[in-house]
Chains A and B, each alone.
Chain A
């Protein structure tokens, strides 16, 4: 069948319509690329531009007054190293554990023979629309001894309804025969899960891993809410957020007014700090992406079953 497709493609001539389509498609894709890339480059330029100069606006792709001071300010924030370590730890641990737990649960919920399948699925969907609210959740976590601990980052977020549904749908799309043939060979559910389902699910697992990892990496609100008084569990993003909000108030409080009238030296603004912090935050996730990308390919089941 694959051969047929190939030969069909070969035989087809490139018609005028094809060419127009290719040109339009390329132009569209290039435009799309520019639209998504521009804000990033602009942020990069602002992060390297003198803060007070940036206030004037008009920075596009290239810094006007080059400086490293924005980065120096951000990187000299104390607790940044602790924050970085905790952020990395929660991202790695949270993603690995979260993926495992969610995949297991999805496996269970995707079994056609599972008695409570319908009810369980409904149960998960409900959590997508109804939340407990800030203070009840806080009280719950406090009751569970999760506040002022590292585990508040990991345990509550082990599974989420959305990711569960994504993985479950994918698993339901896998051919049932694969599972049946494994069962014939004497495999139990755990074996099927580990040896058949999981390997076939790599594309969806990679996708969900990216979701979870980005979520963990970016989150700061939980650090503030549950670990405000425990600086040893601070996260990178919370530290950056604190710096940003400090700079914002510093610049609008009366304290520095006279000084600012006379000296423009070494000042930062919320915009410059935000840009530098965004770039610092973005780099690790951008680096992660190429490694996950190779899993974003489908079609492993092709040819495994003949139906």
Chain B
């Protein structure tokens, strides 16, 4: 009897909940991708957009302060949502299946799928009406963008524009990194070749097997976890003095695509790693560790050197070293201009403002106010809003001196690094078009990161000493700056534009698998040569030529597309 009664009571409670829920649902209904909703609050009406970006990102609070300031200025705001726990293809796949989109979308690796599904609006005829958008790209860039999709513009790449000049403080890309204590110990020697680099680490390790607190030092480590295998496999390209074209080298003179995986330099490099592994300089876990293990290892300050992209380790590792005051022991990393032998000019750092045409933010067919959406982007590119997006609020996030230069106090820097503050205060609309290089005032760098004064203030003494010893003001000075080698650069942008059934894509996927399987083996092999030979056999079976032929075609077409601008610009300069 009683259980039955209880059951009945539960059922009644449930049905009550059901009714209240459905009432809620009806009240708060807000159909997806409904396009701009004009909610009038008081006198002003604010346009509300929704955006989805196929990258993981931080969702800011609805009452974010900078966002509110921007909204007050331009009369529109956008609710941004980011990728969570899915790949870009999966997320876009379900959206295409459902036929419902937010107003703005960035497709990432699935951009082609969006275009093919007809989800993005052709922007060709709208652009001229919006001066900030129109001037955002040069005519050449617009044409490149059109060329990527049969003569139409479907999206706006966000990160391809450098205003005024490129500001370089950090080298955010790949390099051989070394701790400042190693350089200091050897009295800041000139290190330019791979052999010198490993030799220095080896000597230091022999002289200093442990840290101050007794933990063992690790000479060199690397990473092969998933996509992060780039830490291991692409060094031969840089060692031969080429910039980062991704999976191949492009000879600047002949514009020929060269496969660096099979080059002599590659063999030398892996042989070196193999030798150092046997000597115990290379971390025994280097080829099996996961990314988080790698980061925690670097965070202990034990690792003397490694090759990586700066963005891949800096944020976590730097903060942790700082907390433990390991910067005072010289555990921070600086990049070195390493090549395979003397006399080769390194191009680890290459400044370029070449268009990445493979993806960008587009406006979807679900958007009901295309003009409003474009006006939103247009307004986001106005000087005042750009400053708000990049630097925050004057007097709160930065100060302006008499010359109009921006500075920050340590308290401001701390706040800018605070997770909660970022969500409640800062709003960069980071996946909408923005300017790199300089702010539109032509005085300050586009972001605090790139402001030289910001870079230098607050560096640790060890870091200052090291930079000074090499006559460098910034990381970029440590390794030197280079211009983009040609119109094809960087070629890695083309890999994303390949269709999934393209033989080139298949080949590149197979190469990736083979490298994951073989590279750790050859680095740890007792007999290097036979391991190398079996790797080469497996590598050739991937039909790499399919990939490199496609890459070659891409280089040729990019170079040809750029030619007409070169002649016209040289004619006009005459």
B window 403-439: CB within 8 A of A: 410, 413-414, 416-420, 422-424, 430
CB of A102 closer than 8 Å to a CB of B? no
Query: Considering residues A53, A135, A251, which has the most beta carbons from chain B within 10 angstroms of its beta carbon?
Result: A251
A198 and B419 within 8 A (CB): no
B322, CB-defined interface residue at 8 Å? yes
Known: A252-B311, A257-B172, A259-B416. A56 touches B62 (CB 8 A): no
C-alpha spacing A99/B90, complex, angstroms:
32
- Contacts known (A89-B21, A265-B414); A148 close to B32, Cβ less than 8 A: yes
Within 8 A of B (CB), among A240-272: 241-242, 245-271
**Closest beta carbon of chain A to B56's beta carbon, Å:** 4
B214 at the interface (CB under 8 A from A): no
Q: Is the pair B314, A260 in contact by a Cβ cutoff of 8 Å? A: yes
Q: Indicate which residue in B170, B292, B300 contacts A257 across the interface (CB closer than 8 Å).
A: B170
- Chain A, residue nearest B311 (CB): A254
Evaluate contact between B417 and A224: CB separation under 8 angstroms: no
- Asked if B417 contacts A256 (CB within 8 A), the reply is yes
CB within 8 Å of B: which A79-110 residues: 89, 92-93, 96-97, 100
Contact with A along B510-553 (1 / 0, CB 8 A): 00000000000000000000000000000000000000000000
Q: CB of B4 within 8 A of chain A?
A: yes
- Judged by a CB distance under 8 angstroms, whether A149 is at the interface is yes
B423 touches A148 (CB 8 A): no
Which stretch in B10-18, B141-149, B281-289, B343-351 binds the other chain? B10-18
A170 at interface by CB-CB < 8 Å:
no
Contacts of B22 in A (CB 8 A): 150
Name the CB-closest residue of A to B313. Answer: A252
The number of chain A residues with a CB under 8 A from chain B is 70
| Residues 6-45 of chain B, each 1 if its beta carbon lies under 8 Å from chain A, else 0 | 0100110110011001101100111111000000000000
Q: Give the chain A neighbours of B93 by CB distance below 8 A.
A: 134-135
Task: Report B-chain residues with C-beta under 8 Å of the C-beta of A220.
Answer: 85
Contact A150 B25 (CB under 8 A): yes
Q: A56-B324, A199-B3 are in contact. Are A241 and B97 (CB under 8 A)?
A: no
Contact with B along A47-67 (1 / 0, CB 8 A): 000101101110000000000
Interface pair A249/B56, CB less than 8 Å apart: yes
Interface flag for B458 (CB, 8 Å): yes
Q: Is A229 an interface residue (CB 8 A)?
A: yes
- Establish whether residues B413 and A262, one from each chain, have CB atoms under 8 Å apart when the complex forms: yes
Q: Which chain A residue shows the least CB distance to B3?
A: A199
Taking a contact as CB atoms under 8 Å apart, the answer to whether B17 and A229 are in contact is no
Question: Cβ of B498 < 8 Å from any Cβ of A?
Answer: no
Given A55-B296, A134-B94, A271-B292; A257-B21 close (CB under 8 Å): no
Contact between B322 and A229, CB atoms less than 8 A apart: no
User: B315 contacts A251, CB within 8 Å?
Assistant: yes
Check if A23 is an interface residue, CB within 8 A of chain B.
no
Bitwise interface map of A from 216 to 256 toward B, beta carbon under 8 Å scored 1, else 0: 00001100110011111000001001100111111111111
Q: Is A138's CB under 8 angstroms from B300's CB?
A: no
A139 at the interface (CB under 8 A from B): yes
| Shortest CB distance B116–A (Å) | 16
Are A230 and B21 interface neighbours, CB within 8 A?
Answer: no
19 extra A-B contacts, CB within 8 A, seeds A78-B59, A229-B102, A271-B292: A50-B323, A52-B324, A72-B420, A89-B21, A221-B85, A228-B52, A232-B24, A245-B85, A246-B82, A250-B58, A252-B316, A257-B170, A257-B310, A258-B449, A260-B314, A260-B417, A263-B458, A266-B414, A267-B319
Residues of B participating in the A interface, judged by any CB pair closer than 8 Å: 1, 3-4, 7, 10-11, 13-14, 17-18, 21-22, 24-25, 28-33, 50, 52, 55-59, 61-62, 79, 81-86, 90, 93-94, 97-98, 100, 102, 169-170, 172, 292, 295-296, 299-300, 310-312, 314-320, 322-324, 332, 410, 413-414, 416-420, 422-424, 430, 447-449, 454-455, 457-459
